Amino acid sequence: MNDFYQRKDVGKDTIEFTITIPKDSFNQSYEAMMKDKVKDTDIKGFRKGKVPTKMVETQLSQSVRLETLEKIAPLYISTAIQKEALDPIAPPEYKEIPKLEVDKDVVLTIAVTVMPEFKLANLKKIKVEKEEATITKKEIDEAIDDIKKNYKTKEKEINDAWAVEVAKMIELPEVKDMKELRKQIEEAMKAQKEHMLLHKRQEKALDEAIKLCEIDIPKPAIMYEARERERSFRYDMEQKGVKAEEFMKSQNLTIEKMRELWENDSKEALQTDTFLKMYMKEHNIDMNDAELAQRIEELKKNAPKGTDMSVYDDENWQAYVKNVDLKQKAFEAFIKEVLGEMHKD
C-alpha cells in the first residue's frame, strides 16, 4: 500500500513526496528513545537512571522528538523511493522542518532529485579539426639548451662529441653527431605533441557530444558531489597532519575559489558519466561474468606486494571495476566513431 505518502512530479528532475508518519509509530520510537535518555540523565537529588521520566521529558521533549524524526524518517523516505523505483542522484531534501506535535501524525515534505531523461544525439554532427604537430627550430634549440643546463658532460661545447655523450645520458640510440641528435629530439617532441593534441581533440569531441545531447545536470546533484569532494579533501589533509586552511593559503587559494573549482569539476564529471552511460546503453556495451572474472585476475596478478587480496572478492569493489572498465570501453568506442583513432597510453 502507498497510503503513507503522496507523489508529485514538480519538474523533469524533481519529485516531491508528502510522507505521513503515523503518530503511534512515532510515539513508540519517541518513548523508547526517551527511556534511554532517562537512564543517562543526572539531576541533583536523584540517582542516575532513577530520574522521573516526566521531569526529563519537560527538559528534553523537543530535542528527543527531533532525534526520533532523524531516526525513523529515512525508513519511510527510502521505502517511498523504492516503491516508486526511483534512483536519486542526491540526498533527499526537506522542504521545511515538520511540526512535531504531541499525539499527532508527523507530516513531512521532501524533494528527491533524479537524473532527467536524455537522448543520444546524432554524433555525426561532431566536427573536430585535426591540428598537425609541428616542431620549430626554436623549440629544438630550447630543448638542447635545457639538456645542456641539466646534464653535466665532459665535453663543454655543444658539438658532435657533446651530442654523442649526452645522447647516452638521455637514452637516445645511435646518435653519431648533432644532426642526428636534433633529429631524434624533434621526433620525440613531435610524438609528445601528437599525444597532447590527440587528447585535446578527444576532450573537445566529448564536450561537443555533451552539448549536442543537451546534458544539463540538476544543481542538487552537482552540489552534493562538490561537497563530497570538499569532505574528501579535508579528510586527506587531516590524515597528512596538515590544516586545510593553511594548505589553501600556501597555494594562494580561498575556500570560495576551491568550492568553485569543485563545483565545476563535479559538473563536468557528472556530464561525462551520464553521456558514457547513454552511449553504453545505445551501443550495448557490456561485460559478462567471465570477462569480469578475467579482469579481476589481471588486477590480482599486477597487485603490489602486501595488498589485501580479500578486496578482490568484494562484490561492491568488483561492481566498481566493472563500471570503470565499461565507461572506458564506451569512451574508446565513441572516440573511434567520431575521430577514427584512439591513443593507447
* 114-138 exposure pattern, b = at least 16 Cβ within 10 A, e = fewer: bbbebeebebeebebeeeeeebeee
pLDDT digit string (tens) for 137-189?
999 999 999 999 999 999 989 999 999 999 999 988 789 999 999 999 999 99
Q: Which helix (H) or strand (E) holds 274?
A: helix 255-282
Task: Identify the pLDDT of residue 345.
Answer: 43
Task: Identify the pLDDT of residue 309.
Answer: 86
Mean pLDDT in each 10-residue stretch from start to end of the chain (345 residues)? Answer: 84 94 92 78 55 60 88 95 94 90 92 94 93 94 94 92 92 90 94 94 96 96 96 95 94 95 97 96 94 93 87 91 95 93 53
The count of other CB atoms within 10 Å of the CB of residue 77 is: 20
Measure the CA–CA gap between 59 and 55, rounded to whole angstroms: 7
* Interior angle at CA 61, CA 59 and CA 66, nearest 5: 130
Measure the CA–CA gap between 37 and 18, rounded to whole angstroms: 30
Task: Identify the pLDDT of residue 64.
Answer: 86
In order, the DSSP letters of 168-208 are HHTT-TT--SHHHHHHHHHHHHHHHHHHHHHHHHHHHHHHH
Domain ranges of the chain: 5-113, 117-195, 215-282, 286-345
> Which of helix, strand or coil describes residue 241?
coil
Task: Identify the pLDDT of residue 284.
Answer: 95
DSSP letter, residue 114: B
pLDDT digit string (tens) for 232-263?
999 999 999 999 999 999 999 999 999 999 99
From the list 84, 95, 114, the residue with the least C-alpha distance to 6 is 84
Measure the CA–CA gap between 74 and 242, rounded to whole angstroms: 35
Measure the CA–CA gap between 220 and 231, rounded to whole angstroms: 16
CATH 3.40.50.620 matches 5-113:
no
